[in-house]
Chains A and B, each alone.
With several copies, the nearest count.
Chain A
Amino acid sequence: MPLVSELSLDSAETEILARVRGEPFLQLPQDLYIPPDALEVFLETFEGPLDLLLYLIKRQNIDILNIPVADITRQYVEYLDLMQNMRLELAAEYLVMAATLAEIKSRLLLPRPTLDDGGEEIDPRAELVRRLQEYERYKQAAEDLNALPRLERDLFAGSAPLLEREVVRKPPPVSLAELLQAIREVMQRAELYTQHQVSREPLSVRERMSRILETANSEGFIPFTDLFEIDEGRLGIIVSFLAVLELIRESLLELVQSEPFALIYIRLRT
Chain B
Amino acid sequence: MPALKFIVEAALLAADEPLSVERLQSLFEESQPPSRDAVHRAVIRLQEDYAGRGVELVEVASGFRIQVRQELAPWVSRLWEERSMRYSRASLETLALIAYRQPITRGEIEEVRGVSVSSAIIKTLQDRGWIKVLGHREVPGRPALYGTTRAFLDYFNLKTLGELPPLAELRDLDAIGKQLDLLDSQVDEPTVASAEMPVDASEDTSADTSNDATPDLPSTPETTT
Contact = CB atoms under 8 A, between A and B. Distances in A.
B187 A113 contact: yes
A239 to B, nearest CB: 8
A157 to B, nearest CB: 5
Contacts of B190: 121, 123
Interface in A159-191: 159-174, 176-190
Interface in B130-169: 134-135, 137-138, 145, 147-148, 154-158, 160-169
A155 B113 contact: no
B113 A47 contact: yes
A210 B73 contact: no
Contacts of A6: none
Interface in B82-101: 82-87, 89-90, 92-93, 95-97, 99-101
Given A171-B84, A184-B174, A118 B135 contact: no
Given A66-B183, A149-B157, A135 B96 contact: no
A129 B192 CA distance: 11
A217 B136 CA distance: 9
A139 interface: yes
B38 interface: no
B66 A47 contact: no
Nearest to B205: A180
B112 interface: yes
Interface string A114-140: 001110111101110111011111111
B220 A184 contact: yes
B32 interface: no
B171 A182 contact: no
A49 B196 CA distance: 21
A145 B222 CA distance: 22
Contacts of B169: 137
Interface in B153-209: 154-158, 160-171, 173-177, 179-180, 183-184, 186-194, 196, 198, 201
Q: Which of the four size classes fits the interface of chain A?
A: 35 or more
Nearest to B184: A66
A152 B83 contact: yes
B176 A160 contact: no
Interface stretch (A24-32, A196-204, A223-231): A196-204
A150 B225 CA distance: 23
Given A122-B194, A157-B67, A198-B167, A179 B188 contact: no
Q: Which of the four size classes fits the interface of chain B?
A: 35 or more
Given A176-B223, A183-B170, A134 B112 contact: yes
A50 to B, nearest CB: 4
A21 interface: no
B179 A66 contact: yes
Nearest to A205: B162
A121 B218 CA distance: 28
A118 B96 CA distance: 36
A267 B140 CA distance: 19
B63 interface: no
B156 A148 contact: yes
Contacts of A125: 180
Q: Which of A48, A138, A143, A149 has the most CB of B within 10 A?
A: A138
A145 to B, nearest CB: 5
A135 B114 contact: yes
Contact of B166 (A48, A118, A150, A201): A201
Interface stretch (A11-19, A71-79, A89-97): A89-97
Contact of A202 (B26, B103, B162): B162
A94 B225 CA distance: 16
B223 A145 contact: no
Contacts of B167: 137-138, 140-141, 183, 187, 193, 198-199
A183 to B, nearest CB: 4
A179 B14 CA distance: 36
B47 interface: no
Nearest to B101: A206
B44 interface: no
Interface string A52-63: 000000000001
List 4 A-B pairs, minimum CB-CB distance, nearest first: A204-B162, A48-B115, A210-B147, A158-B13
